Amino acid sequence: MSILNHLVNFLEPLARLMGLDGVILTAFLLGLPANETVVPIIIMTYLSKGSLLE
């Protein structure tokens, strides 16, 4: 597992409380310095987890 996947799994419960997915919350946090990186981070994380269709 990558560091990104560990971070997603760690933030998953907090994200669920806010009605988000762990991937989306992680992307928002990592995208704070540069907002244009949020969507590529979401795409990259979903594709690396293999859960895009689930």
| Alpha carbon distance 13, 48 (integer Å) | 20
pLDDT at 48: 84
Structure pTM?
Answer: 0.82
Q: What's the pLDDT score for residue 2?
A: 84
The pLDDT of residue 1 is 75
pLDDT at 53: 55
d(CA 49, CA 22): 12
Task: Check: CB of residue 20 under 8 Å from CB of residue 35.
Answer: no
Q: Where are the domains of the chain?
A: 3-49
pLDDT digits (tens, 9 = 90+) for 1-54: 789 889 999 999 999 999 999 999 999 999 999 989 999 999 998 888 776 555
